[in-house]
Structure 1
């Protein structure tokens, strides 16, 4: 019996090394795609009579100011204490539903464009397993044979620990659809700034209050919005689909914008500002609670929005590029599969398995497969991921209700 077991393990090891060789070859074929760049024009919000054009700013979405100030968290990595077999990987098999299959393939395509060789090899291998799998069980077995779970812990950090693993958090975000105007008026008076790092470098690191008081900065506004809540939501989520309203004209024109940089100041969320005023519970509140409190207390919402000194800079984005990934030139976010994570720890394009803390000990643990396609000002350290839910009101609601205790592991090819 032991001899048969050793033969079986040896066969698996040979297969694993063969897979790594094939992955290296396929990964090399992907490198050229990662070197592509987008042709540019000077970024400017279009008027209804102007066609949108691509911007070089979309090629620099790894710009450091998009990441949290002092975001580099020194971590140690180790093989996770849990086994892949304890996770319900078969439930992650994406061939069951056409929409899920298409989203999975789109997410893999985005990750394959990563400049990080390790993450690219991982996704090429996952695609090979997916292609060859005939059943969910085949998929789970392929993942178990080829990958290991890696966990990260901050060096010297007294992180909260349960059963030997740090407590993680999964939240959600989405792309709002909002109405804006290109000219300021009494109602539409909250600005979305263009990239001041290129337009007015001497003002690029100024605070929100300083920019709002600067006549020069206000000449670089892409659009104006009428609600402090929507203003904060767009800056928080980093992308927006815009309906451009023009006074005196019926209907609207549509476009989109995405963040390209920030002023580098610390981020203070609208929810935190409302919580400090006793309007919501800081620990248990969801987006629904924030929206309700902001609508009932507009003056408090405006004051809370103004307290956030971190300003996000935007550029217009064509539909074919929208919504763009961070750290992967030319890639796009995919609802249900993309996530924001700390890219100083998890390379852009890497694969994460997010495992629910709450589970029945008698059953495999429920999990979610996500790809690191984004970063954010509030996503710091290895124990927080922000899952992308898509575009529109329903997606925002789903994202706002998402707050779950999880364990977060990188899915990485075995050596």
Structure 2
């Protein structure tokens, strides 16, 4: 499914995305290039883009920005920060977008935005898991998903994963549901998920905090031990290893990561909405992107040129910087939200594709 870092509290929200599960991708901060000649209409593949579908998530961005202080910083570096780094920088463009008649989306995007290339980088993927769960434990669902415990005394920190799994927070951290142990671990990596109950009920769980211990990628552990070759590493490879390993070895591997994530329930999200990202907007499958906010302003549209991780087909489409992630560092580094469930997991898991990224900046009103 970040997979992306402290909390869903909007101050410094960050997911743990799939890329954090595998290997961190270091990238130094850089100055973003100035706008290149050309226009949105010149972007590779632009003529085939569904402009109405591409613009729809931007309207959600605009609603989130309208609720912020106009001077509130959105991030970005260099030119991007100067022209799109505050909520106020988007006000006129958002007002025009909200008033567009049907069929005017393509002309609007071509007229009101200028492309700023970020260069070639890396695109990974994340998703929202869908889990089978119970409100009471059984043989197939023995592991609790926990809400936040009381804060520890000053100068102390909460127990690590092994201690929590041994019961260190029993009676302190509320239990929200019971699930399979491997599914619980991957849910913590993704940061949010859907738990389906036997009666058809659905629990939407969002990130609420973590225990303060450092994150250790179990994918890296398996590579270091020679269990999985580096070139074959993926979320699916890790799942296959865990399924084949004796239960005690599988549990021991999960405990190699001392970090532990707590959740909270959200009653307001519709089933057709993704979880909210850093910007506070429900994430849209294939259209929401996690970025490094030190480089790319939250809310900015981003044109990506990459390929599908399963069939290699070209992907050239407009996405929106609506989230952040712990392993997402650098100007041309992104994490694409694929949606929820197995189909999304199949693409998010192996995705480590080269990508050309171009930010679209709002032009001054004519």
- Which range moved further: 392-401 or 185-194? 185-194
Aligned to 1:303: 252
1:264 CA drift (Å): 4.0
1:373 and 2:326 correspond:
no
Aligned to 1:78: 33
Aligned to 1:90: 47
Q: How does 1:148-159 map to 2 (within 5 A)?
A: 148-149=115-116, 151=118
Task: Name structure 1 gaps, 5 residues minimum.
Answer: 1-57, 152-164, 246-250, 359-364
**TM-score, normalization by structure 2:** 0.72
The 1-side partners of 2:293 and 2:283 are apart by 15
Aligned to 2:93: 125
- Which range moved further: 398-407 or 218-227? 218-227
Aligned to 1:333: 283
Cα distance change, pair 268–59 in 1 and its aligned pair in 2 (3 A): closer
Q: In the TM superposition, what whole-angstrom CA distance separates every residue of 1:336-387 from its partner, at most 9, and x where no partner exists?
A: 21122223333332222223399xxxxxx96332112222232233332111
Partner SS for 2:172: helix
8 Å Cα contact 2:208-2:264 kept in structure 1: yes
Larger gyration radius, structure 1 or structure 2: 1
**TM-score, normalization by structure 1:** 0.64
Q: In the TM superposition, what whole-angstrom CA distance separates every residue of 1:12-67 from its partner, at most 9, and x where no partner exists?
A: xxxxxxxxxxxxxxxxxxxxxxxxxxxxxxxxxxxxxxxxxxxxxx9724345768
1:185 CA drift (Å): 5.5
Cα distance change, pair 124–273 in 1 and its aligned pair in 2 (3 A): farther
Aligned to 2:169: 216
Aligned to 2:356: 407
What RMSD over aligned residues (CA atoms) do the two structures have, in Å?
A: 3.7
The number of equivalent residue pairs is 320
The 2-side partners of 1:176 and 1:192 are apart by 14
Q: How does 1:2-151 map to 2 (within 5 A)?
A: 60-63=9-12, 74-79=29-34, 83-84=38-39, 85-95=42-52, 100=53, 104-114=55-65, 115=68, 116=72, 118=84, 120=87, 121-122=89-90, 125=93, 128=96, 131=100, 134=103, 138=107, 141-142=110-111, 146-149=113-116, 151=118
- Which range moved further: 271-280 or 131-140? 131-140
The 2-side partners of 1:91 and 1:376 are apart by 30
1:79 CA drift (Å): 1.7
1:346 and 2:301 correspond:
no
Cα distance change, pair 252–138 in 1 and its aligned pair in 2 (3 A): closer
- More helix by percentage: 1
- Structure 1 segments of 4+ aligned residues over 6 angstroms from their partners: none
